[in-house]
């Protein structure tokens, strides 16, 4: 199903700006430190779209409340993943059942304004990540005529350069159907295992990207990209690693010459690496020095050090988690790791020392936490999206030791079946 949002008229934009300004004053008056975006997968409304809950977070207590007019339509069916642009002005929501990415402009009051809808090159997008000025989306299947749930094939990922402002068009739109490696390249990167049968089906589960340098006027910052996936034929989990660079090239598109940013995707030496049976989530520390992957089947988390020769398993890896780990996050100081355990309905916390993890404790959440995030303003409040609990659980991180205590109220009502968490900072409130 293809959907397309038209650009908002100048009158609507002016009205939205006025409302945003009013919301900004209101948010400041209530000590709002972050806006948190939580998509809910259950169909709602005439289009059977999912919904987007938007919460504002109180800096003194971590208390969350939905902003006026929340929730917002997700712009597609079954939203399963989301990512925020690095300048915190755009939110990208991945809708699995429509094979779509919806771009929302984020107002100063946290409200979401739909801008564009893009179709992914593959089938059933499942995960997304942003680094520098690039959006990455992992698709369950490649965009081949033979691929379908009845006849599954190996998955892939797409690369979408995020466009700067141009004239009256604000920053945040995506360069779509971007060819990889050359003007005539595919618009997606298949996940293939060297030395295995072509019948082996590799399904991505999660994706993490981090900038590893600086860009220039004609090239984007280089990016380290990691994709968690499993071989459904052999029941083995893997981490794929890539370096992504981009250069401007003049390409012929539909008979016309266009200047495009062409990503070059280069596999890291030794990629892919074994990582359990079913790697359910992947992330990096803030410096990109370490990669962490949860395995939901064995109830463990694997750790790797990054380097010029690819990934190297950390001493002591893997470490035990709770039952069915589903999501993982590292705090912005790089001191603590938190794992949401979907089957255990809890969080496992760890300290980091030289990449290695040491157990802190377990903390109870709502039913089936499937996503976890930390507030970007203070690095103090942590939240989980609880799929079966139809809720968000809130905690306060104790900076001295990484332990968690329930934030005020502790559990906040969301719409049915929340699937992801993303957040942006608001204002300049700082407690540390």
User: Sorting pLDDT into bands at 50, 70 and 90, what band is 303?
Assistant: very high
Tokens of residue 428, six digits: 């300049």
Does the structure show a pLDDT above 60 at 28?
A: no
User: Tokens 């690369």 label which residue?
Assistant: 159
Distances (CA, A) of 351 to 181, 303, 339, 354: 39, 13, 12, 10
Rounded CA gap, 134 and 136, in Å? 7
Burial class (CB in 10 A: 0-12, 13-18, 19+), 192: middle
Whole-number Å distance between alpha carbons of 385 and 41: 12
pLDDT at 292 over 60: yes
Report the distance separating Cα 178 and Cα 139, nearest Å.
Answer: 15
Q: What is the pTM of this model?
A: 0.90
Q: Please give the Cα distance from 1 to 391 (Å, whole number).
A: 29
Q: What is the CATH number that goes with domain 10-425?
A: 2.130.10.10
Q: What is the pLDDT of residues 345-388, one digit of tens each?
A: 999 999 999 999 999 999 999 999 999 999 999 999 999 999 99
Pairwise pLDDT comparison (409 vs 141), residue with the higher score: 141
What are the extents of the domains in the chain?
Answer: 10-425
Highest mean pLDDT of the ranges 186-195, 393-402, 422-431: 393-402
The more confidently predicted of residues 35 and 6 is 35
Q: Are 232 and 308 in contact (CB under 8 A)?
A: no
DSSP-assigned letter for residue 314: P
Q: Return the percentage of the chain with pLDDT > 90, whole number.
A: 75
**Cα 380 to the center of its chain, rounded Å:** 20
CA–CA dist 266, 263 (Å, integer): 10
Q: What's the full length of the chain, in residues?
A: 432
For the chain, percent helix, then strand, then coil, each to nearest 5?
Answer: 5, 55, 40
The reported pLDDT for the residue numbered 261 is 86
> Comparing 32-46, 72-86, 343-357, 368-382, which segment has the lowest mean pLDDT?
32-46
Question: What is the average pLDDT score of the chain?
Answer: 89
């Amino acid at each position: 199903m293809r959907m397309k949002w038209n650009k908002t008229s100048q009158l609507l934009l002016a009205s939205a700006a006025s409302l945003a300004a009013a919301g900004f004053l209101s948010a400041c008056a209530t000590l709002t430190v972050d806006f948190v975006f939580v998509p809910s997968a259950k169909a709602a409304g005439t289009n059977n779209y999912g919904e987007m809950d938007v919460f504002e977070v109180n800096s003194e207590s971590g208390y969350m409340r939905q902003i006026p007019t929340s929730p917002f339509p997700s712009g597609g069916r079954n939203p399963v993943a989301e990512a925020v642009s690095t300048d915190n002005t755009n939110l990208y929501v991945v809708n699995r059942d429509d094979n779509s990415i919806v771009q929302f402009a984020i107002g100063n009051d946290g409200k979401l304004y739909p801008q564009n809808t893009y179709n992914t090159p593959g089938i059933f997008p499942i995960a997304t990540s942003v680094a520098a000025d690039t959006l990455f989306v992992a698709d369950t299947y490649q965009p081949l005529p033979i691929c379908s749930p009845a006849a599954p094939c190996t998955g892939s990922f797409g690369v979408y350069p995020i466009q700067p402002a141009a004239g009256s068009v604000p920053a945040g739109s995506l360069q779509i159907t971007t060819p990889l490696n050359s003007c005539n390249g595919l618009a997606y990167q298949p996940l293939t295992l060297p030395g295995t049968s072509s019948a082996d089906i590799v399904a991505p589960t999660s994706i993490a990207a981090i900038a590893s340098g600086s860009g220039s006027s004609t090239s984007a910052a280089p990016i380290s990209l990691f994709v968690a996936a499993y071989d459904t034929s052999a029941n083995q989990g893997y981490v794929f690693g890539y370096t992504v660079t981009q250069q401007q090239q003049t390409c012929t598109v539909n008979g016309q010459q266009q200047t495009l940013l062409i990503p070059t995707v280069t596999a890291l030496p030794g990629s892919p690496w074994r990582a359990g049976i079913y790697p359910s989530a992947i992330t990096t520390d803030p410096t990109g020095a370490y990669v962490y992957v949860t395995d939901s089947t064995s109830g463990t988390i694997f750790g790797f050090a990054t380097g010029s020769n690819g990934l190297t398993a950390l001493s002591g890896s893997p470490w035990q988690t709770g039952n069915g780990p589903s999501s993982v996050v590292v705090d912005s100081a790089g001191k603590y790791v938190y794992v949401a355990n979907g089957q255990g309905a809890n969080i496992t916390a760890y300290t980091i020392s030289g990449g290695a993890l040491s157990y802190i404790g377990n903390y109870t959440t709502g039913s089936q936490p499937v996503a976890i995030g930390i507030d970007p303003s203070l690095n103090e409040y942590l939240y989980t999206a609880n799929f079966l609990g139809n809720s968000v659980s809130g905690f306060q991180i104790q900076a001295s030791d990484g332990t968690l205590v329930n934030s005020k109220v502790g559990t906040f009502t969301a719409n049915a079946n929340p699937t992801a968490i993303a957040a942006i900072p608001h204002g300049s409130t700082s407690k540390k």
